[in-house]
Amino acid sequence: MDNETKKQLIEAGIDVNKGVLRLMGRTDKYLSLLKKFPQDDSFAKLKDAFAREDCTAAYNAAHALKGISANLSLELLNERVCLQMSILQSAYNDENPQQKYTKLKLAEKLIPRVETAYDAAVKAIRSL
C-alpha cells in the first residue's frame, strides 16, 4: 500500500496499522476485506430502523455496525457508533414505552455524526 493511500485511509478515520496487524501483517487480505465494507448493509438498516422507529431493529443494526467497524479498525466510525449504541442499549432494555421512545429519538440525533464517519470511510475505501 503506498503512502498516499494509507494517508487517505487514516484521514478517513481508519487505523490501517491496527487493521493490518489484526490480519497478521497481511495487507492484501486487509484491503480486500475493507473493500467489502461498502456492500455491508448494516448502516442502511440502522437508518431504516430509525425511520420506522423500530428500537430492536436499530439496536441489532448498530450492534452489527459496531462489530464490523471494530474488526476493520474503522476507528472514527466505531467510536461514534459505540456512543450511539450505548444509548440504544439503554433504550432496548427500557421497559417503559415512553422512556424507550425518548431514548430512541436521542440515539437518532447522533445519526448525522455516524453518517459523516461512515461516508468518509466508504469514500476512502471506494478510491482504493
Chain residues that interact with another protein, rule: CB under 8 A: 17-18, 21-26, 29, 33, 36-37, 40, 42, 60, 63-64, 66-68, 70-73, 82-83, 85-87, 89, 93-97, 102, 105-106, 109-110
Smaller CB separation from another protein, 4 or 34: 34
Quickly list DSSP for 37-96: GGG--HHHHHHHHHHTT-HHHHHHHHHHHHHHHHHTT-HHHHHHHHHHHHHHHHHHH---
- Which grid cell sits at 9? 485511509
CB of 106 to another protein, least distance (A): 5
d(CA 50, CA 30): 31
Distance in Å, CB of 10 to another protein, minimum: 15
Hey, what's the cell of 54?
423500530
- 106 versus 122: smaller Cβ distance to another protein: 106
Closest CB to another protein among residues 47, 100: 100
Cα 20 from Cα 50, distance rounded (Å):
33
Nearer to another protein, 10 or 110 (CB): 110
Q: How many residues make up the chain in this entry?
A: 128
Q: For the CB of residue 2, give the shortest distance to another protein in the complex, in Å.
A: 21
Instruction: State in angstroms the smallest separation of the CB of 6 from another protein.
Output: 16
